[in-house]
Amino acid sequence: VIQNDHSLLKWVSTHRLPGIAKLGLSSVYFFLNSGPSVLIAVDVTDHETNIMAETKIKEVMKPKRVGQVDVYTYGEADRYFGVADGTLPGFTYFGVLPGHLPRVVVFDDSDHWVEDAQYLTVEKLPEHLPRVARMWRISSTPRGYALWIAKKFVTLYLNADRAAGATLGYPGRVFVVLLLAVLVWAQAHLVVWLARSVFNFFYNIVEGDEQVSAKEQESKKDK
């Protein structure tokens, strides 16, 4: 490792957060900016669930037992794992609600993340984590916000379709599709109406200013 500076820096960069990092409010920022990571938000008072979360994390990370110590190894594509109190301020921004813990948030970097209450869970972490590569990235950009809205809409549809299919069968599923189509049409109609209203508002202002200017010029000519 210490044969040269490059090897040393490479080793440090992949071992700066060994094992399962316990995160506090002051260390979350450093954790999210250290590279691709998996954040597990837990209820610190629910010890039974937290033991389950630790077990699932170890199933993914596969540490080697050396004596009394778990040794974690990292490849270039591996993610850091951290556990934090899910009630910390700011976590709701990433879709983590204090009343719905534990939750998983996977970060590509501090500005792009993946979360899903149904398809990315602690209980099925080894099974769900490989799905992340195919899931939508949420971010603070306009594109990320649009994806967040689309994700909520898809989730709404899937939940409604599942519930309708369980209670009413195929007719219920058809009804859900028709209902959502009406909702989409109504929302699109509302957006168009708002756009027209804004356009007409500014158009009337500009048109009114031009008319006033024209009248002033005519009055000057008359004088």
pLDDT tens for the chain, 223 residues long, are 455 665 655 555 555 666 788 888 888 888 888 888 999 999 999 999 999 999 999 999 888 888 877 777 777 678 889 899 999 888 888 888 888 999 999 998 888 899 988 889 999 999 999 999 888 888 877 777 777 777 777 777 777 777 888 888 888 888 877 887 887 788 788 888 888 888 887 777 766 655 556 555 666 555 5
Residue with tokens 């440090």: 12
Q: What is the rounded CA–CA span in Å between residue 49 and residue 52?
A: 5
For domain 5-138, give the CATH number.
Answer: 3.40.30.10
Q: What is the rounded CA–CA span in Å between residue 69 and residue 121?
A: 27
Query: 70 - beta bridge partners?
Result: 65
- Nearest partner of 122 among 196, 195, 48, judged by Cα: 48
- Nearest partner of 175 among 191, 161, 189, 158, judged by Cα: 161
